[in-house]
Amino acid sequence: MRAAMERGDWQTAIQAGQSWREQGGRDWRLTLNLALCGCRAHQGPEQHWLALAEEALQNSHHHPHARLAAAEIAAGSGQWEAGLELLKGLQPPLPATALQLRSALLAKLNRSDEALALLLQIAAADRDWRWTMALAAVHVHSSNWSAAEQLYRAVLQQRPRQREAHLNLALALLSQRRCAEAWPHYEWRSSNPRLRPDGSPRPLPPLEELAQHHVIVQGEQGVGDQIMASRYLPPLAAACPRLRVEPAPRLAGLLRRQLPPHVSVATGSQARGDDAVVIGSGSLAMLLWPCLGMAAAGSQGYLKAEPQRVAHWRSKLAKMPPGLRLGLGWLGGASGSERRERSLSPTELKQLGAWPGVQWLDLQYLPSGDSHWTQLSRDAGLHRLGEPGHDLDDALALIAALDGVVTTRQTVAHLAGALGQTGQVLVPARPEWRYWGDGIRWAWYPTLELLQQSQRGSWTEMLEQAAQRWLAPPQNAANKNRD
């Protein structure tokens, strides 16, 4: 297990740790390592890893090593205040790793000045490349992209194959809209199927060479990322006579209907011939950027809803009380840390539910049987028809039948933007490159407006701005999508 952890092979380490526990093993150090690997790999329910960390804390009588690891797990789960409390219990002098973790937690809580001061307390002799990465992360949380860029470049001068530094440099460059420089570094992301065993990316063949091969586009990252990248699939299909797309299962039906007949859309990997070239969906922008750039398709969008499904949803919406029909996406992110930045609280949901003359359609994808989140939706007075988001082709038709959307950063935002629907996207105080704005308009999807937080952690002001957009005359009298 330790050897797998040292080489960053979290899956192998998790398997070894789980096998050990199934055989009755309960050493707190191995329990803690299992929890750490699960947290770093973003695998499994966060509550499971938090429970294992708490078990290790109790069995170790809050040993300093257990406190430090438990603080890292709390940080990855969005429990930043709890992570700081765990670190407070460590006796000085603290190791550099503890100071760097505390600095990261302070930066997440928008206390960047304290975070920088803490890093500067570390002796110069102890400031290795990890310290430089931690310093860059503080600048990222302050949206100081230029300073972060220089620090990541400094790390790569010392460690040219440091994958995290490559990826973070790409994000810093993308946030400055320096895309041509960024894409080669973005190839170092862990989900890229073209990575070599040593973690470095294989070169991406030029477009003209791909026409001679069987090309397979493998879906990667989140569903929203795959929707964003799908703008490049039609031009790729025009250039490649043999193209197969392997998206996330929820996206397969929608893409199968959008793409030309000669394109095969399959769920999961299938047999691949010797001449097959596999490309991650996250690499499509780099491949087609020189000729297409952002490939903005204009106000009509590049995804089309199925007319029969749209008509079906309009007939259902017509039976609701009069007023605007607005869609809502309110829960974003795969981890607690991401959800904290990209989700609405129960209080904020009720604030939306109180808008006069608005019928809210809950568009939020939730795993089947997840009663907690479903109850929050019900308490806010949202209409939840069926299981939103399980069939994305159906979700696209529902969005097309609505008057507009209000959503946090997530799949609903990409669906609405790719369709050309109108609405607002709630963007955290620290935006990221997917959410560039040309003024208030979302550069990647110009029919949507971006409402960026002025105070980190609170959406109240942004929701008030969204209310002004929809409730002020003449919008409230225009049910533009209903016949």
Instruction: Quick: pLDDT tens for 270-281.
Output: 777 778 999 999
Provide the pLDDT for residue 244.
96
pLDDT score recorded for residue 473: 63
pLDDT, tens digit, 9 for 90 and up, residues 407-439: 999 999 999 999 999 999 999 888 789 998 888
Tokens representing residue 377 in the block = 């939706």
Query: What is the Cα–Cα distance from 56 to 38, expressed in whole angstroms?
Result: 14
Q: Is the dihedral of CA 437, 440, 446, 451 positive or negative?
A: positive
> Which residues, listed in sequence order, are joined to residue 442 by a DSSP beta bridge?
437
Mean pLDDT, rounded, for 377-399: 93
What is the pLDDT, as a whole number, of residue 188?
Answer: 96
Please say if the pLDDT value at position 481 is more than 70. Answer: no
* Position 165 confidence tier, pLDDT thresholds 50, 70, 90: very high
pLDDT value at 480 more than 70: no
What is the predicted pLDDT for the residue at 269? 67
Q: Using CA atoms, how far apart are residues 190 and 209, in angstroms rounded to an integer?
A: 25
Residue 161 is which amino acid?
R
Q: Which band of pLDDT confidence, cut at 50, 70 and 90, is reported for residue 8?
A: confident
Mean pLDDT of 303-329: 96
* Domain map (residue ranges) of the chain: 2-157, 207-292, 307-477
pLDDT confidence of 148, banded at 50, 70, 90? very high
Work out the pLDDT band at 474, boundaries 50, 70, 90.
Answer: low
407 forms beta bridges with 329, 425
Sign of the Cα pseudo-torsion (401, 407, 413, 415, in order): negative
The pLDDT of residue 439 is 80
Average pLDDT, the chain: 91
Q: Exposed, middle or buried: residue 315 (CB in 10 Å: 0-12, 13-18, 19+)?
A: exposed
As a whole number, mean pLDDT of residues 235-248 equals 94
337 residue type, one letter:
S
Q: What is the mean pLDDT of the segment spanning 182-193?
A: 96
Provide the 3-class DSSP secondary structure of residue 360. strand
The DSSP call for residue 383 is B
- What CA–CA distance (Å, rounded) separates 120 from 93? 14
Grouping H, G, I as helix, E, B as strand and the rest as coil, residue 357 is coil
**What would the CATH number be for the domain defined by 2-157?**
1.25.40.10
- If you average pLDDT over residues 159-163, what whole number do you get? 95
pLDDT of residue 478: 45
pLDDT value at residue 285: 95
Task: Record the pTM.
Answer: 0.90
Helices (H), 301-452: 307-317, 336-342, 346-353, 371-379, 392-401, 411-419
pLDDT (tens digit, 9 = 90+) per residue, 59-80?
A: 999 999 999 999 999 999 999 9
Residue 370 has pLDDT above 80, yes or no: no
Strand partners, 326: 360, 404
The fraction of the chain above a pLDDT of 70, given in percent, is 96
Helix, strand, coil percent content, the chain, rounded in steps of 5: 55, 10, 35
User: Is residue 358 a contact partner of residue 382, using CB atoms and an 8 Å limit?
Assistant: no
Q: pLDDT tens, 330-343? A: 998 878 888 888 89
C-alpha to C-alpha distance for 245 and 218, rounded to whole angstroms: 6
Distance from C-alpha of 201 to C-alpha of 481, rounded to nearest angstrom? 46
Q: In the prediction, which pLDDT does 73 show?
A: 95
What is residue 450's predicted lDDT score, i.e. its pLDDT? 96
Cα 39 to the center of its chain, rounded Å: 16
State residue 371's pLDDT score: 81
Tell whether the torsion through CA atoms of 139, 145, 147 and 150 is positive or negative: positive
**Would you state the pLDDT for residue 300?**
62
Structure tokens at 39: 């947290």
Other C-beta atoms closer than 10 Å to the C-beta of 80 total 21
In the chain, what's the furthest Cα-to-Cα distance? 71
SS3 464: helix
Q: Which residue has the higher pLDDT, 359 or 480?
A: 359
* Fold for the domain defined by 307-477: Rossmann fold (3.40.50)
Residue pLDDT, tens place only, 24-62: 998 999 999 999 999 988 887 888 999 999 999 999 999
Residue 296 has pLDDT above 60, yes or no: no
Cα distance between residue 422 and residue 446, in whole Å: 9
Closest CA to 366 of 398, 401, 330, 409: 330
Q: Tell me which H or E stretch contains 18.
A: helix 10-22
Q: Could you tell me the pLDDT band of residue 267, with boundaries at 50, 70 and 90?
A: confident
The pair of structure tokens assigned to 412 is: 């609903």
Domains 2-157 and 307-477 share a fold: no
Contacts made by residues 196-200, CB under 8 angstroms, sequence distance 24+: 198/161, 199/161, 199/163, 200/161, 200/163
Of the candidates 341, 222, 344, 243, which has an alpha carbon nearest to the alpha carbon of residue 287? 243
- pLDDT top residue among 4 and 51: 51
